[in-house]
A = this chain, B = another copy of it.
Amino acid sequence: MTGLLIRDCRPMGGPAADILVAAGRIAAIGPGLSAPAGTPVEEGRGLLALPAFVEGHTHLDKTLWGTPWWVNEVGPRLIDRIEAERRELARRDHDPAAAAERLARAFLLRGTTRIRSHADVAPEIGTRHADALVALRDALRGTMDIQVVAFPQSGLLVRPGTLDLLDRALRNGADILGGLDPSGIDRDPKGHCDAIFGLAARHGVPLDIHLHEPGELGAFALELIIERTLAQGMQGRVVVSHAFCLGEVARAPALHEALAAAGIALATTAPPSRPVPSVRAARAAGGRIFAGNDGIRDTWNPNNGPDMLQRAWLVALKNDFRRDDEMELAFRMVTDWAAAACGFEACALAEGQRADLVLLEAENPLEAVAVQPPRRLVVSHGRVVARDGAAVP
């Protein structure tokens, strides 16, 4: 049963209304709705109703969420972090399936129903992480939508055997192929791009490429990615994650134009500590951009959490959003823009849309971003899945 009547909430901060759900979708929104006998009723008590959120970039497989605090004594270099992770996950016999499910359910409690997660693929672990996320995706179908990116975290060409493993992960059901720093890590930008675009074409899957490379090196990688996206007709099916270089090079506006023309979307975590693509600049060029948390409570970083309102708030702070029309951009970074760029169902609060929604104490979506209040009720596919931060079985 996925029928539900939510009484007296304020969709998107508008006037009080009821929301009637049937078969997991919104059947009607308006005042004084009635429901078929036996339909469960939730009292909205004037709470704000928002569409559920989308996590556009995380790493479910590697989280330590839900386990005791991990004392981080890792050195500052990238290689220190990669090695610390490999060592620690092996030492604790890390179970990516259990870890990913804990974190996915933590997201759900906070109103996120759709997640794009990268999953490490590497010779040491084979396709174990990606396979675990594929199984989780299938197990949670109907409650959460999860996309699995088979991701060569430790490098692709520099780690022989990884390309075959990515191929196997895709055959095993991963949805998307990942790439990583063609020059900075793989030392062969042409070779890296040829490899991932070639494998994506063979499997007919989209691409999501981590690009940490700074300045003009990163801009060069963007050019290679744009050229191949156009040549291969992959417009609308390529995401570049991070793209810090767009916060650094003077020619960022032209690159944003070229990315928009190639239908390439940007995923940003809006980290306070370094330059990032400007949301305004991306949108001004007609481009697409959305938000993600990146790794959450892992050996890389203790600081991120499974709350997309918190990430939207960081997007607002990072972009110095203050006006209402700017705060709205931050909200869209974790809702419809993220859904559209990732290819998730959009779940707007409108008739016919899937009933994924959140009730909380705020006046409007902008205040929800500014304050990130506790989630009073979370509905996924028309079913109440969480109440006051606790799962509803």
List A residues at the B interface (Cβ < 8 Å). 68-69, 71-74, 270-274, 297, 300-303, 305, 313-314, 316-325, 327, 363-364, 366-367, 370-371, 374
Q: A321 — nearest CB in chain B belongs to which residue?
A: B303
Question: Closest 6 CB pairs between A and B?
Answer: A272-B272, A273-B320, A272-B318, A272-B317, A69-B363, A302-B370
> What's the minimum C-beta distance from A294 to chain B, rounded to whole angstroms?
11
Contacts A273-B317, A303-B317, A316-B303; A68 near B363 (Cβ below 8 A): yes
> What's the minimum C-beta distance from A388 to chain B, rounded to whole angstroms?
11
Chain B residues with CB below 8 A from A274, complex form: 320
Q: Is the interface of A mostly helix, strand, loop or mixed?
A: loop
Q: Is the CB of B317 within 8 A of A271?
A: yes
User: What are 14 A-B interface contacts by the 8 Å CB criterion?
Assistant: A69-B363, A69-B366, A72-B323, A72-B327, A73-B323, A271-B272, A271-B320, A272-B317, A273-B317, A297-B370, A302-B366, A302-B370, A303-B313, A303-B321
Q: Given contact pairs A69-B367, A72-B322, A270-B272, enumerate 15 new A-B contacts (beta carbons under 8 Å).
A: A69-B364, A71-B324, A72-B323, A72-B327, A73-B324, A74-B322, A271-B317, A272-B272, A273-B317, A300-B322, A302-B327, A302-B366, A303-B313, A303-B317, A303-B321
> What's the minimum C-beta distance from A100 to chain B, rounded to whole angstroms?
19
Q: A316 — nearest CB in chain B belongs to which residue?
A: B303
Chain B residues with CB below 8 A from A71, complex form: 324
> What's the minimum C-beta distance from A122 to chain B, rounded to whole angstroms?
22
Chain B residues with CB below 8 A from A74, complex form: 322-323
Q: A70 — nearest CB in chain B belongs to which residue?
A: B324
Chain B residues with CB below 8 A from A319, complex form: 273
Chain B residues with CB below 8 A from A314, complex form: 272, 317
Chain B residues with CB below 8 A from A301, complex form: 322
Chain B residues with CB below 8 A from A323, complex form: 72-74
Chain B residues with CB below 8 A from A370, complex form: 297, 302-303, 305
Q: A301 — nearest CB in chain B belongs to which residue?
A: B322
Once the chains are docked, how many angstroms separate the CA of A270 from the CA of B371?
18
Once the chains are docked, how many angstroms separate the CA of A367 from the CA of B363?
30
Chain B residues with CB below 8 A from A322, complex form: 72, 74, 300-303
Chain B residues with CB below 8 A from A318, complex form: 272-273
Chain B residues with CB below 8 A from A324, complex form: 71-73
Q: A319 — nearest CB in chain B belongs to which residue?
A: B273
Once the chains are docked, how many angstroms separate the CA of A367 from the CA of B302?
8
Chain B residues with CB below 8 A from A273, complex form: 317-320
> What's the minimum C-beta distance from A353 to chain B, rounded to whole angstroms?
25
Once the chains are docked, how many angstroms separate the CA of A327 from the CA of B74?
13
Once the chains are docked, how many angstroms separate the CA of A68 from the CA of B73?
45
> What's the minimum C-beta distance from A187 to chain B, rounded to whole angstroms?
25
> What's the minimum C-beta distance from A177 to chain B, rounded to whole angstroms?
29
> What's the minimum C-beta distance from A296 to chain B, rounded to whole angstroms?
10
Once the chains are docked, how many angstroms separate the CA of A318 from the CA of B272?
5
Q: A315 — nearest CB in chain B belongs to which residue?
A: B272
> What's the minimum C-beta distance from A234 to chain B, rounded to whole angstroms?
32
Once the chains are docked, how many angstroms separate the CA of A273 from the CA of B68?
33
